[in-house]
Amino acid sequence: QKEVEQDPGPLSVPEGAIVSLNCTYSNSAFQYFMWYRQYSRKGPELLMYTYSSGNKEDGRFTAQVDKSSKYISLFIRDSQPSDSATYLCALKGTASKLTFGTGTRLQVTL
Amino acid sequence: DTAVSQTPKYLVTQMGNDKSIKCEQNLGHDTMYWYKQDSKKFLKIMFSYNNKELIINETVPNRFSPKSPDKAHLNLHINSLELGDSAVYFCASSYLFYEQYFGPGTRLTVT
């Protein structure tokens, strides 16, 4: 079993839809949770960071963490074609490194 | 101004060859990384340097050797290339562990 599981998609939604992207993890040592966005043929870029259970909102994006269930989510409201990208969750525990999920490819159609 | 740059962007080479990828960052960050992203988009850390000191060395074949001449540069040399080395290699840098700035990637194809 991988440390971090993420549905690879692709996930196709119409413009304006609410998108839910999820990761599950097995290691309870993970304490820091990030979402990165990667456009095609580009490097990933940080979208959101949180370290506590609960919700964190930034514009149209909401990151949700449930440490008891080892489950993290990223919600995108009013999705736009420009949101079309691969979304990677990344987690960190006591080690110095980030452990990435395999990414979910999102396509927002007009 | 490019924050994290890598050269070359594309690299096509034959099995058995030796090649290098260069990375430079102008963000003033102390920590730099090399990641490998396979065809399924799985991004895995290979190495990390902090102020020119190696701090992460994942289970990577010793054909891969990173070198950090100064804290703004981190190069990756690969000996005796194999088909399985074909991937996109990303360099990244950070000041805060959670906010890593990635370069554009080097797409390596081994034939």
Contacts of B87 in chain A (CB under 8 A): none
From the list A8, A92, A105, the residue facing B98 with the nearest CB is: A92
Strand-pair category, A61-66 with A99-100: unpaired
How far does A18 lie from chain B, in Å, by closest CA?
Answer: 24
How far does A84 lie from chain B, in Å, by closest CA?
Answer: 15
How far does A8 lie from chain B, in Å, by closest CA?
Answer: 9
Cα distances (angstroms) measured from residue A40 to each of A65, B41, B45, B54, B91: 27, 11, 20, 30, 17
Average pLDDT of B89-98?
92
Q: Which amino acid is at A101?
A: G
pLDDT at A87: 97
Q: Which residues of chain A have pLDDT under 50?
A: none
Average pLDDT of chain A is: 94
Neighbouring residues of B59: CB distance < 8 A, sequence distance ≥ 6:
none
Task: Please check whether residue A96 is in contact with residue B48, taking contact to mean a CB–CB distance below 8 angstroms.
Answer: yes
Task: Please check whether residue B41 is in contact with residue A8, taking contact to mean a CB–CB distance below 8 angstroms.
Answer: yes
pLDDT at A45: 96
Nearest to B43, CA basis, from A66, A48, A29, A97: A97
Q: What confidence tens digit (pLDDT) does each residue in B22-49 have?
A: 999 999 999 999 999 998 889 999 999 9
B10 touches chain A (CB under 8 A): no
pLDDT at A65: 96
Residues in chain B, overall count: 111
pLDDT at A10: 92
Does residue B1 surpass a pLDDT of 80?
no
Phi then psi for residue B74, to 5 deg, are -145, 115
Structure token pair of residue B64: 């891969």
Contacts of A50 in chain B (CB under 8 A): none
pLDDT at A63: 97
pLDDT at B74: 96
Task: Please check whether residue A72 is in contact with residue A22, taking contact to mean a CB–CB distance below 8 angstroms.
Answer: yes
Give percent of chain B above pLDDT 90.
82
Does residue B2 surpass a pLDDT of 80?
no
Structure token pair of residue B81: 């290339």
Output b/e per residue, A39-73; b: 16+ Cβ within 10 A.
eeeebbebbbbbeeeeeeeeeebbbbbebeebebb
Q: How far apart are CA B53 and CA B43, in angstroms?
A: 22
From the list B55, B90, B99, the residue facing A96 with the nearest CB is: B55
Q: Which amino acid is at B35?
A: Y
Task: Please check whether residue B95 is in contact with residue B31, taking contact to mean a CB–CB distance below 8 angstroms.
Answer: yes
Task: Please check whether residue A6 is in contact with residue A89, taking contact to mean a CB–CB distance below 8 angstroms.
Answer: yes
Average pLDDT of chain B is: 94
Q: Cβ contact (<8 Å) for B98 and A46?
A: yes
Cα distances (angstroms) measured from residue B14 to each of B7, B21, B69, B83, B84: 18, 16, 28, 9, 12
